[in-house]
Amino acid sequence: MPQTLSVIKADVGGYVGHSAMHPELLDAGREAMTQAVQSGLLIDAQAHACGDDLFLVMSHERGEDNEEIHRLAWDTFQTGTEVAQKLHLYGAGQDILVDAFSGNIRGAGPGSAEMEIEERPSEPVIVFMGDKTSAGSFNLPFFKMFADPFNTAGLVIAEPLHGGFEFEVHDVKEASRIHLACPEEMYDLLVFIGSPARYAVKRVRNRQTGEVAAVSSTDKLSLIAGRYVGKDDPTAIVRCQGVFPAVGEVIEPFTTAWTVEGFMRGSHYGPWMPTSVDQAHPSRFDGPPRIVALGFQLAEGKLGVPRDLFDDPSYDNARDEASRVSDYLRKHGPFEPHRLPLDEMEYTTMPAVAAKLSDRWESME
């Protein structure tokens, strides 16, 4: 019987400001997950937090895009919003963009990453949780995991990986997709995914077996709502070992604090800092952006106790690098390349200021 892993996430209220999650809100998420397991809807489930985002990690047998699973996530975010309202948390219901659930969580605000798998005799899986960054931020780490032999030794020396991986890339503005195979089409792939604000890697498959290796959330809140409403802090699920990169190859890309968009007001570039769950509360300039990796060893769909993979001194260098890069970028203040280009900023006063000063611009032609 195939199993499905669904990670559905939303920011329904921050504590304090947008920096972290109130324990009562996280408890409400955990309670909803426990009840859904007891009712038989889910095989297993957990609720976790990264910054101000609530991540529901659910294991079930109902396939991807299942209405009942999506409704459960929707209801859980509604309950979370009520807790946030009661405690006057900041931005209660922030990512909930529609008034009523209409069968699927996609397009309603929350982000989702789902994969249907035939569980292997041993199935190591990593769930990544990001905060203060954006859909598309996984492009670079996914490329390193699945296409860069300097990151993933298995691409060169392990037979099951040697045939390469296929990337499904979404054009988030045009709502279209393309499949590109590595290593042959690597340069074509990079033309697109090197621009993560528009092109995001949705899914990766092993070309020899066809099995899904990774999936990420590509939901763009601003494109759904037509205006800035909050950051589409992303999530991803990655299978490890055997015909997939090893755990160590999957988390190796995060030894560098890559520059991603997000940070203050979703309008600045900043370094993506890998941290433990305990350190995933971005406060300095509402950042730096965070990435947490929870490792699960599935057992007939049971999640078990997650391993907090960046809770490791090997990642101290990346954290130091992120702090140093933050210091450097912050010195630019309101100037690019710390500030995002004009058409990428989530907050802008440009139209109003431009309108106010329109008659003071003198033609020089």
Q: Burial, 18: exposed, middle or buried (Cβ in 10 Å; 0-12, 13-18, 19+)?
A: buried
Q: Report 125-164 residues binding Mg ion (CB under 5 A).
A: 131
Among 48, 62, 70, 132, binds ligand F6R (CB under 6 A): 132
Question: How far apart are CB 321 and ligand F6R at their closest, in Å?
Answer: 21
Binding mask 182-221 for ligand F6R (x = CB under 6 A): ----------------------------------------
Helix axes 139-147, 186-193, angle to 10 degrees: 170
Size of the site for Mg ion (CB under 5 A): 9
State the amino acid at position 313 in one-letter form: P
Catalytic residues, which ones? 11, 228, 231
β-pair partners for 201: 169
Among 106, 120, 198, 265, binds ligand F6R (CB under 6 A): 265
Residue tagged 């968009």 (tokens): 261
Q: Which residue number is nearest to Mg ion in terms of Cβ?
A: 18
What backbone torsions phi and psi does residue 220 show, to the nearest 5 degrees? -110, 105
- Please work out, in degrees rounded to the nearest 5, the angle formed at the alpha carbon of residue 109 by the alpha carbons of 38 and 22: 60
Strands, sheet with 3-10, edge to edge from the N-terminal-most edge strand: 44-50, 53-60, 3-10, 111-117
266 scored as a contact of ligand F6R (CB under 6 A): yes
**Which of 8, 13, 15, 18 touches ligand F6R by CB under 6 A?**
18
Q: Is 274 in the site for Mg ion (CB under 5 A)?
A: no
Measured between alpha carbons, how far is residue 313 from residues 197, 207, 245, 319, 326 in Å? 32, 34, 22, 10, 20
Q: Do residues 5 and 114 lie in contact, with contact meaning Cβ atoms separated by under 8 Å? A: yes
Least gap, CB of 345 to ligand F6R (angstroms): 11
Of Mg ion, ligand F6R, none, which one does residue 265 interact with (CB within 5 to 8 Å by kind)?
ligand F6R
Residue 5 Cβ, how far from ligand F6R at the closest point, in Å? 26
Stretch that binds ligand F6R, among 58-66, 77-85, 260-268, 318-326 (CB under 6 A): 260-268
Interface residues with ligand F6R (CB under 6 A) are 17-18, 91, 132, 231, 262, 264-266, 286
